[in-house]
Structure 1
């Protein structure tokens, strides 16, 4: 089943994001390589493709897992979560309808 993982950043997360980004992306790439990612990306803190120093307010990953518990465990052990980039993570089942 698909699960949406929505993560809220702590204030001024950009320096932590920059140092932890390679590990975070490598972990998501493993899911991509397994064909388990529908979409993933950050949420800019301002209305801009490149928010610059404004940074990001969070991230969204929609990926396939065997259960809500597995998705939650994956989210809880994300490098951004472990490094303190994320203040909180919400994981919910997701039903893809369109397209």
Structure 2
């Protein structure tokens, strides 16, 4: 399994209508252990989520089903593999 840091920038006009479905989506993934942490940036211009997936293809299959993606809330998305070394989540 690998960790991925996903950062998105919002289309502000669509954000409020879709946010409840997006949070429900992430909540399910958190319960399954796929999402470690997620939330909006302080200025509400976008958000960051830390996912765990088999590989980037598996991650894309997951994040492409996010209501934000499906309903056009994402103006920009970046995906970077993350290799945690130190911290409470690291075995």
Q: TM-score, normalised by structure 1?
A: 0.76
TM-aligned CA deviation for residue 60 of structure 1: 0.5
Unaligned runs of 5+ in 1: 46-55
- CA distance in structure 2 between the partners assigned to 1:44 and 1:81 by the alignment: 21
Q: What's the C-alpha RMSD, in Å, of the aligned pairs?
A: 1.5
Residues matched between the structures, number: 86
- CA distance in structure 1 between the partners assigned to 2:86 and 2:76 by the alignment: 28
For 2:58, which of 70, 79, 95 is the aligned residue?
70
Q: TM-score, normalised by structure 2?
A: 0.82
Unaligned runs of 5+ in 2: none
- CA distance in structure 1 between the partners assigned to 2:67 and 2:74 by the alignment: 10
2:15 equivalent to 1:17: yes
Q: Per-residue CA shift, 1:20-72, capped at 9, x if unaligned?
A: 11110111111111122221101132xxxxxxxxxx11111101111101112
* Between 56-65 and 68-77, the greater mean CA deviation after superposition: 68-77
